A and B are shown apart, each in its own frame.
Chain A
Amino acid sequence: MTDPSTEFEAEFTQLADSLTDRGRAPRTDLVDLWPQFVEMDLPLVAHVGSFADLVTLVRVFASRGLISPLVVSPILASALGAGDDPQVVPLTAAFVGDVRDVDAKTRVRVPWAATASRLVVAGRDPVETRARYVEGFRPSGPSGGSALPFAECCLTDGHEITDLVLDASHRAQLEITVAALLLGAVTGAVRLTEEHTRTREQFGAPLARLPGVRRQLGEARVDLAHGRAALDRAVATVGSGADDERVLDAALVAAVVASEVATRTAMVAHQLHGAVGTTQEYALGAYTRAVWAFRDWPTSAAARRRHLGERALHGGANAVWDTLTAPVTRATSAR
């Protein structure tokens, strides 16, 4: 397995730092930033580089509080067969219980609705491949407010809706980029927490000197490493030549671990920040909101676990060992 952290990591970090004051000014409303992203060729995975590069980009940006449609847009463009067409982005996605019911009156919850002009509506079930493509999408409902990059939207007769297949490989890639977003966001939260505990004094000393605080920070780092292991494995599986089913399994594994790690670690970050972390003006909230918004998206963590558990029971202990949990030991190039 190659290290999916790519040569671009430092470059992406520098860019994200410049846009967010090193993560102290997170941004999820990217209407004004998107043209810059397009100019830099960031939205199209083919222009960024490999899929591993895209995952790194999403993770690094999220670690600075840039929660952008890059999580979904390049993958959906690829599903539309327009992976190298800059005109097709920005694309976003919504997920519903039964995609067959989608029509001109369907209400959907859409991330980055204000930025996107095209929408893919797919089923929440991880193995559902049927999807609908909505061209000329304009958000019709009120925005979700400042708390989350989501808006409630209603499809209308003015939208042109066509069928689309979102195959297992694209579903897997979405799960992986969401896992990258979650781990990136919570990495940003831990970074802020480390800074806070180094500078905030209580009981006559910086918080970081308290053994209980150090222990919680240690637990957060251990959890982050766990999440990265699952994420890197999933990225390596994409490039390993494994079949789509196995790639989707690895992606769901990464998403389950990322969701749990991000939830647990965000709570630690808040605990160590105290009350200041719960205010809207303080940066930590942006990272927490990203975790809360995406940990059950595109499908719930519970549904992911159930899917993996059923796959494991169906395949038996040998399948658990030989496929569902097996490490990727060969060199890969995740394109």
Chain B
Amino acid sequence: MAQLPADPDDLRRYARDVIAAGLPADHVVRIDSWSRHVDLPFSRHLADAGLIGITWPRRYGGAERSHLDRLVVTEELLRSGAPVAGHWMGDRQIGPAVLRYGSDELKEEILPPIVRSETVFCLGMSEPEAGSDLAAVRTRAKRVDGGWRLDGHKIWTSHAHHATHAYVLARTDPDAPKHFGLTEFLVDMDADGVEVSPIIDLTGGHHFNEVRFDGVVVPDRRVLGTVDNGWTQVVDQLSFERGGPERYLSTLPLLDLLVDRRAIEPDVLGELVPDLAALRSSACEVARALDRGVAPVTASASLKLLGNRFERRVVESARSAVHDVGDLGELVATAALIAPAFSIRGGAADVLMSIVAKQEGPR
């Protein structure tokens, strides 16, 4: 396994070199690559360089580095617009959730293949009748001999058509109050009864899917954490989902182009630079909280809200510049079509604001 540089600045340079070496010579600048672009050979290239699962214990293939170090790596991946969607969910979210709540058997089974980029995870959270209201999921898991039988319908499941595994939040106690009686499962996507159908988004791209589970049998060992404790666990997991740099860096490759081509007015850039600096510092604070073992629920929600606002300003700034930089037209048009989703995916803005509003104010 590759030895990562100890110093964060050296680690940043190392990540840059690895990324540059892994991208094809004809790599074109793209935005939102963490969400949209799967390139499994590139993910395996990162895995070979030791850049996946770097915070995880060595026994599972990780490097036992801090979340701050991971932030350094993910920042560089996002800035480059590298196609990382193939391993993003496993590395960012599923791995940490398994480490926190999974049995030893589940850790042994799930974590090393993620580190080697041999598996692709998709997230089965949203449902047609339970979008932002995550606790309203209707997908049912019923006890059967040796495991659980899963029946339900998930939607907005990015890259389910590439996925080897799905994370699924399902109701295991239909009589319990809404926020109880939920359980998390890890499901094989090639199991009998799993059906994936595509959803084409505004840009014409295909990353969303609907996934139907029709009598899918999930063995007991694939229960993540405690049966009926899914809500508590998933709230922690969402801190990993929301508090990362992808919430403010998915359009950075576009901003970089505007700057290097001097296609943006200094007054406008002078509004974006301070916000970006503050966002990057806030992400460091979230990473430090994770290093302390804290799930930074409110800080992550704030970061995502602010990141969404920043990204929309980047897109709006690019709109103004596109007349001067004609060949960027397609990129800007794509960004403008993706922008409405910024404040929906990973927790709708209104839901996040309600999390912030519940906290105690300044004293």
Contacts and interface: CB of A to CB of B under 8 A. Distances in A.
Interface string B49-83: 00000000000000000001000100000010000
B259 to A, nearest CB: 4
Contact of B281 (A233, A317, A320): A233
Nearest to A305: B270
A225 interface: yes
B195 interface: no
A142 interface: no
B278 A226 contact: yes
Does more than half of chain B's interface fall in helix, strand or loop, or is it mixed? helix
Interface string A248-261: 00101110110000
A190 B362 CA distance: 7
Contact of B275 (A217, A257, A329): A257
A275 interface: no
B282 A187 contact: no
B361 A215 contact: no
Interface stretch (A40-48, A98-106, A306-314): A306-314
B266 A230 contact: no
B207 to A, nearest CB: 27
A97 interface: no
Interface stretch (B40-48, B330-338, B352-360): B352-360
A221 interface: yes
Interface stretch (B167-175, B219-227, B298-306): B298-306
B8 interface: yes
A187 B271 contact: no
Interface in A207-247: 214-215, 217-219, 221-222, 224-227, 229-230, 232-233
A63 interface: yes
B79 A324 contact: no
Contacts of A221: 302, 356-357, 359, 361-362
Contacts of B306: 222, 225-226
A47 to B, nearest CB: 27
A190 B359 CA distance: 14
A37 interface: no
A309 to B, nearest CB: 3
B106 interface: no
Contacts of B8: 329-330
B59 to A, nearest CB: 27
Contacts of B280: 325-327
Given A1-B284, A218-B357, A221-B302, A325 B276 contact: yes
Contact of B362 (A187, A302, A316, A326): A187
B361 A229 contact: no
A194 interface: yes
Interface in A50-80: 63
Interface in B258-283: 259-260, 262, 264-271, 273-283
B299 A317 contact: no
A321 interface: yes
Given A317-B259, A327-B280, A309 B269 contact: yes
A232 B353 contact: no
B288 to A, nearest CB: 8
Contacts of B305: 222
A191 interface: yes
A9 to B, nearest CB: 11
B277 A230 contact: yes
B185 to A, nearest CB: 33
A253 B362 CA distance: 23
A109 interface: no
Q: How large is the interface on A (under 10, 10 to 19, 20 to 34, 35 or more residues)?
A: 35 or more
A118 interface: no
A230 B270 contact: no
Contacts of A327: 277, 280-281, 283-284
B129 interface: no
Nearest to A324: B273
B347 to A, nearest CB: 13
Interface string A126-153: 0000000000000000000000000000
Q: Which of B264, B273, B278, B357 has the most CB atoms of chain A within a 10 A radius of its CB?
A: B278
Contacts of A214: 354, 357
B42 to A, nearest CB: 21
Interface string A274-313: 0000000000000000000000000000101111111011
B316 interface: no
A309 B269 CA distance: 5
Q: Which of B265, B267, B350 has the most CB atoms of chain A within a 10 A radius of its CB?
A: B267
A320 B249 CA distance: 13
Q: Which of B68, B270, B279, B356 has the most CB atoms of chain A within a 10 A radius of its CB?
A: B270
Contacts of A218: 353-354, 356-357
B285 interface: yes
B267 A306 contact: yes
A305 B278 contact: no
A312 B269 CA distance: 7
A48 B317 CA distance: 44
A230 B274 contact: yes
Contacts of B264: 313
Contacts of B108: none
A308 B269 CA distance: 8
B285 A229 contact: yes
A309 B361 contact: no
10 contacts: A215-B350, A221-B357, A225-B282, A226-B306, A302-B267, A313-B269, A316-B260, A317-B256, A320-B276, A327-B280
Given A309-B265, A329-B72, 18 more contacts: A187-B362, A226-B279, A233-B277, A233-B281, A250-B277, A253-B273, A256-B271, A305-B266, A305-B267, A305-B271, A306-B270, A309-B269, A309-B270, A309-B273, A312-B266, A312-B273, A313-B259, A313-B264
